[in-house]
Each structure stands twice: as C-alpha cells, then as structure tokens.
Chain A
Amino acid sequence: MLKIENLHASINGKEILKGISLTVKDGEIHAVMGLNGAGKSTLSNVIVGHPAYEVTQGSITFNGKDLLSLKPEERAHEGIFLSFQQPVEIPGVSMVNFMRAALNAKRKYQGLEPIPAGDFLKLMREKRSIVELDSKLASRSVNEGFSGGEKKRNEIFQMAMLEPKLTILDETDSGLDVDALRIVAEGFNKLRRPDSSAIVITHYQRLLDYLKPDVVHVLIDGRIVKTGGPELAIEIEKRGFDWIKEEIGL
C-alpha cells in the first residue's frame, strides 16, 4: 500500500527526517513510537503533503502512485487520512458544510454525483453513532470550542465519513479519557476493512492494546532505528528508550 524510501525532509532549512524507509502492506497496522521532537508528526505531515515541509531526497509511493507529485487534496482522494495531533478550529465553517464539501470532493474525484441531502444526513448520523459523537458537536463550527478529547473524537468521526485506505493516527489517544479512548479505539476497529491500513503514532501502550499493531517502529532523531513486533511497544512502555539508544550507540 505505502512505500517510503530513504525519505529526507526539512522545514525552514532544518533537516528533520534523515532517511526514512517504511513499507506498509494492505491490512497492516504499524505503530511509530519515539521521543518528543523525533520527527513523527513531520513524517505524517510529509505523507499528506503539508506545504511547509520540503522533501529533499527519497520517494513515497502509494498504491503504485508517486505520492509526492500529488496535491494534498489528491492524496486525500487517493485514500490517505491524517488524524491530526492538533486539529485546527475553523470558526464559521459548520461541520455539516465541511463534511459535505469533503465527501462531495471525493465523489467528484471518483466520477460520482454529489450525495443527495437526505443520504448525507443519514450517513452523518450513522457514523456519528459509531464514535458516539454528540449531535450538538456535529452542528457546530469545525472543532470550534471543542475540548481536546472532543477534537480527537471528531477526527475519527471524519475518518468514518471518508473511509480512507490508509489512516495515520497522530497521538489520537492523547487528550482522551479512559472511556473515550475505548470508544474511539473500538470505533476505529469497527470501521476497519480487511485491506485498510494504519500508521499509529503514540507514546502509550494503551491504544495499541486495542489496535493490535503488526509492526512497531522506533523513530529517533529523524531515523527509524529499530523495528519489531507488538512486544517492542510493551518493552518501551516498561523500559523507555535509553536501552535502544545504547544498543545503537547513541
């Protein structure tokens, strides 16, 4: 599904990603862990095409397409979804209008007619219930005045609406209380299709208990320094990152 090779990226002339290679196959869940500032959000931003980052070397292919040549909205249409670490508030743009615009843009890309109003509202209701998003929130402006946890829940709601092939969760667990984490994680599992994949960025094992990653990567200083199975995450939860740093001689 996703193939990243020797990816180097910088922001404001400062190199953050220093040669990342990563392959995610259909249906796989990859966890990415690492210290603050290691470059995890940078990696997700580069995958979705944030204009502030400059890719200086390497390639990303997504289902055979050269991702780096696509605009952010085209990458979204191809089926990539990022649940942002810090979702932005957009005062004055209602959730309904926002979601309708997003969904219809995707349908247009697929050569489909805009979704009929009745079907759209039904779909909103249906998906909202999966992540138990309050109907009051869905009638407000995008993320405006939402609590930290509500914003994260809203991200997963949007994912549910757009049904991506590859989802990147950037610390979706942070800010969620224990119950909300369970609801969001179970919602995510319910929404998964056998061939959809995910990259899950997290600092904690709790989310991974629900999502059951196939592969766990450790990102330090812009490089993937260690890759293992689910047990690696459990070990990191217990012992931190120092032992890994020692292992690689940092």
Chain B
Amino acid sequence: MSAEKQYIEFFGEVRDTIAIRSCDEMNAQRETALQTFSAKGFPSSKVERYRYAKVDADFSPNYGIALTTLTEQLPPYCFRIENAEPRVRALYNKVADNADSIVALNTMLCVDTLVVHVPKGIRVEHPIQISNILKGEQDTMVSRRILIVMDEMAEADIIVTDRAASQSRFLTNQVIEVLMGDGSHLSLYEVEETHLLCTRFNSVFVQQGKNSSLHHTNLTLFNGHTRNRLDVRLQGEGSEVTANGCVIADKMQRVDNNTLIDHQAPSCQSNELYKYVLDDSAVGAFAGKVLVREGAQKTSSKETNANLCATSSARMFTQPMLEIYADDVQCSHGSTVGQMDEAALFYMRQRGIDEREARLLLKAAFITEVIETIPLESLRDRLHVLVDKRLRGELSKCEGCKLCQ
C-alpha cells in the first residue's frame, strides 16, 4: 500500500472542496468508493483482468491531481451532470463495475460528469465530438467521467478524442458509462493520440436494451501506457454490438485492451476485431472474453485478434476467450501473430518502393480493415490520413486547434 496512499490522503484533504464543486448524485457515491479502493488497493497482475497491466507502477509517480469542472457552454445534447434531467442523473454509476478499484478511484475523485443524453426517437444529425486535451506544465492526474444515455430509438455518433498539448506527464483515469434503450443506435469512437509520457486507464461500461445496436471502435494511435477496458452487457433480446479496435505502438509503448462481451439475452450478435501493429520494443496485450449465458440462445458471436510484430523485440500477448452456457449458438474466436510479409516487401521494392515506405504501406494496410468498418465516412477518411501520418512519425497536432499551437 504505497501508491494508493497518496490518493487516499489527497482525498482526505480535498473531500470538502470536491463536495462543494460537485453534485449530490456524485457525492453520494464517494465514501463507498473510498472504502472499496482502500480495501482492495490497485489490482496486481494476479487479478485476471489486470494480467497485462502494471497498475501500481503507473499510479506511483507523484502527480498533481486535477479537480476540474466542465464549462457551461456545451453543445446540444451535452450537459454537466447537475444540469441533466433528474432521471438521467440518477443513472450515474449504475453500469460501472464498482468493485473495480480503478473505477472506485474515479468515483472517489471525479468532480464533474459530462452527460450526453439523446431523448426518445431523436436522431442526432451531426457527430458529437468530445475532445479531451491535456495541457499544463505540471505532471497531472485527471479523473474523467462520461455518462451517455440513449433513450428508446435514439441515434447518435459520438467521437471521444484524447490529446496532450504539452509535454508533461499525464495520467488519465476515465470511466464511460453507456445506457442504451430499446432500439437505440450508437456509434462510439475513441481516438487516443497523446505522447510517450501519457498513461491512460479507460474503462467503458455499456448496457444494451432490446434491438439496440452499438458500434464501438477504439483507436490507440499514439500513447505511453494505455489500458482500455470495455464491458458490454447485451441485456435486451436482439441487440447487436461491433467492438473493434486498432493499435499502433512502437518505441517502449504499451497498450492493453481488455474486453468482455456478455450475452445475457437470446438472439444477440457480437463482432469483435482488434488489430495491433507493434514495432521496436512495444508491448501489446489483448484479452477478450465472450460470455454466453444460459438462455442466450441463438447467439452469434465472432472474435478476432490479429497482430503484426514488425520486430523481434516487439511483444504481443493475446488471449481470446469464449465461455458458453447455451447450446444453440454460433461462436468463433481466434488470434494470430505474424511478421511482415517478406514476399510482399520484396515485390514492392522491385517496383522501386524503398524498404521503409514498403513497410509503412504494409502496416497501414494491416490496420485498414478496422478503419474500413467505421460507418462514418468523414471519420474514416480522416483516420486513414492520421494512420499514415502516425506511421511516418509525423505526430499530428490537432489541426486548427488553438490549444495545440
């Protein structure tokens, strides 16, 4: 109990300040969260879902802890939690896994929650973009919380981007809760493009109603250490989820994606595709469990994790898991780890493309499959450009963004 101590002590000091800045719904959960966090501490690698993470080491450095609130000027359908409808506010911390100490730490320290609420039957025309920009001269730890509530038959595209505008160390602990009503549709994209000194813990919890559909794509284009957790509970009959992701990592970067697709109702579909391109001494991990519960008949599920290790020092841990307690189901899962296709490299070089460029084209090609599944065309085009730039080592600043100049 050393890394935990600084967070517990800090909370003791600022608990009143937080309470004043925050709202009842959030404050009501803090003490329980503190108890969970104090009792459990940071999960060690013996805890199944943290097998590939180094939580203690990631939380150990001495960070200044940010206690920021959101601005009042938010786009349509977006609210500070205190301005959301009471019914929606009451949903705070209802889907997140409260037994998880990283989540508990967030619940303890987070001051404000961004609520995206799309009312019944509304189709939000333009994508909602939530940009998180880390900026500051001091090493900072940020707790961030988003609650997305899609009422019955609501439809929206939400893009959450993570960037860092200064070269300090940043630690982000983010929790996203998503509640999807019957027949609702949501595309949720997460794009991380930070830097080597950024550590990110991101836990996303989704609960889906009848015939709802979710498209989730998580792209880690540039980072330091990242751990993404995604839990999707398919509670309503006939619901669907596509959970995709891609990772580009090199140098000493580390990316861990840990997913759970929980088929609780019959006739649901899940599709999962995660692709990693690892170079230099990067380390990737993917652990994805598909759980088909008793009674979840007619489940159809496919899980694929494909990885490209461009060097022999890059390492990938892959663990697709399938647990089935129903008999009438169609499920498949698999993973591959491959190297650069030497025949393809030579073919390109014979055509005059130098080795570096040829490698780059092959890496981009490997990732393309994930990007091509994105329904939103404008984002797809943008991502092709970003991936290309990323592979070329031209780290992109947010173009046209004042904060990043």
Asked whether any CB of chain A lies closer than 8 Å to the CB of B382, the reply is: no
Return the chain A residue nearest B365 by Cβ: A92
How near does chain B come to A197, taking the closest CB pair, in angstroms? 17
Q: Are B344 and A88 in contact (CB under 8 A)?
A: yes
Asked whether any CB of chain B lies closer than 8 Å to the CB of A97, the reply is: yes
Which residues of B lie under 8 Å from residue A92 when comparing CB positions?
362, 364-366, 368-369
Q: Which of A73, A103, A162 counts the most chain B CB atoms within 10 A? A: A73
How near does chain A come to B42, taking the closest CB pair, in angstroms? 39
Return the chain B residue nearest A107 by Cβ: B352
- 0/1 interface trace, chain A 202-242, chain B, CB 8 Å (1 if under): 00000000000000000000000000000000000000000
Asked whether any CB of chain B lies closer than 8 Å to the CB of A2, the reply is: no
Range of interface residues on chain A?
Answer: 20 to 34
| Residues of B in contact, count (CB < 8 Å) | 21
Among B328-378, those with CB < 8 Å from A are 341, 343-344, 346-355, 357, 361-362, 364-366, 368-369
Q: Are A73 and B349 in contact (CB under 8 A)?
A: yes
Q: Are B352 and A162 in contact (CB under 8 A)?
A: yes
- With beta carbons under 8 angstroms apart, the residue of A50, A76, A109, A141 that contacts B351 is A76
How near does chain B come to A77, taking the closest CB pair, in angstroms? 5
Q: Are A105 and B357 in contact (CB under 8 A)?
A: yes
Q: Which of B347, B348, B349, B350 counts the most chain A CB atoms within 10 A? A: B350
Q: Given A92-B364, A92-B365, A93-B365, are A98 and B348 also a contact pair (CB < 8 Å)?
A: yes
Q: Are A158 and B351 in contact (CB under 8 A)?
A: yes
A76-B350 Cα distance, complex, nearest whole Å? 6
Q: Are A72 and B346 in contact (CB under 8 A)?
A: yes
Q: Are B346 and A93 in contact (CB under 8 A)?
A: no
- With beta carbons under 8 angstroms apart, the residue of B352, B362, B365 that contacts A76 is B352
- With beta carbons under 8 angstroms apart, the residue of A50, A51, A90, A103 that contacts B348 is A90
Which residues of A lie under 8 Å from residue B344 when comparing CB positions?
88-90, 93
Which residues of B lie under 8 Å from residue A141 when comparing CB positions?
365
Which residues of B lie under 8 Å from residue A37 when comparing CB positions?
none
How near does chain B come to A248, taking the closest CB pair, in angstroms? 33
Q: Are B365 and A109 in contact (CB under 8 A)?
A: no
Which residues of A lie under 8 Å from residue B368 when comparing CB positions?
92
A82-B349 Cα distance, complex, nearest whole Å? 11
Which residues of B lie under 8 Å from residue A93 when comparing CB positions?
344, 361-362, 364-365
Asked whether any CB of chain B lies closer than 8 Å to the CB of A87, the reply is: yes
Which residues of A lie under 8 Å from residue B350 when comparing CB positions?
48-49, 72-73, 76, 81-82, 84
How near does chain A come to B366, taking the closest CB pair, in angstroms? 6
Q: Are B347 and A84 in contact (CB under 8 A)?
A: yes
Q: Are A105 and B353 in contact (CB under 8 A)?
A: yes
Q: Are A76 and B369 in contact (CB under 8 A)?
A: no
Return the chain A residue nearest B357 by Cβ: A101
Asked whether any CB of chain B lies closer than 8 Å to the CB of A102, the reply is: yes
Q: Are A71 and B347 in contact (CB under 8 A)?
A: no
A141-B341 Cα distance, complex, nearest whole Å? 15
How near does chain B come to A43, taking the closest CB pair, in angstroms? 15
Which residues of A lie under 8 Å from residue B343 when comparing CB positions?
88
Asked whether any CB of chain B lies closer than 8 Å to the CB of A148, the reply is: no
Asked whether any CB of chain B lies closer than 8 Å to the CB of A106, the reply is: yes
- 0/1 interface trace, chain A 16-43, chain B, CB 8 Å (1 if under): 0000000000000000000000000000
Q: Which of B343, B344, B347, B352 counts the most chain A CB atoms within 10 A? A: B352
How near does chain B come to A111, taking the closest CB pair, in angstroms? 14
Q: Which of A72, A87, A105, A109 counts the most chain B CB atoms within 10 A? A: A72
- With beta carbons under 8 angstroms apart, the residue of A51, A84, A105 that contacts B352 is A105
Asked whether any CB of chain B lies closer than 8 Å to the CB of A145, the reply is: no
A111-B369 Cα distance, complex, nearest whole Å? 35
Q: Given A92-B368, A93-B362, A98-B361, are A87 and B354 also a contact pair (CB < 8 Å)?
A: no
Which residues of A lie under 8 Å from residue B369 when comparing CB positions?
92
Q: Are B364 and A98 in contact (CB under 8 A)?
A: no
A90-B358 Cα distance, complex, nearest whole Å? 11
Q: Which of A81, A98, A109 counts the most chain B CB atoms within 10 A? A: A98
- With beta carbons under 8 angstroms apart, the residue of A48, A72, A77, A91 that contacts B365 is A91
Q: Are B365 and A102 in contact (CB under 8 A)?
A: no
How near does chain B come to A59, taking the closest CB pair, in angstroms? 21
A158-B347 Cα distance, complex, nearest whole Å? 12
Which residues of A lie under 8 Å from residue B352 when comparing CB positions?
73, 76-77, 102-103, 105-106, 109, 162
13 other A-B residue contacts (CB within 8 Å) besides A90-B365, A102-B351: A49-B350, A73-B353, A81-B350, A84-B347, A87-B347, A88-B344, A90-B344, A98-B351, A98-B353, A101-B348, A102-B352, A102-B353, A106-B352
> What are the nearest 4 A-B pairs in CB distance?
A92-B365, A76-B352, A102-B351, A72-B349
Contact sample, A vs B, 15 pairs, CB 8 Å cutoff: A73-B349, A73-B354, A76-B349, A81-B350, A87-B347, A88-B347, A90-B344, A92-B366, A93-B344, A97-B361, A98-B348, A98-B353, A105-B352, A105-B354, A106-B352
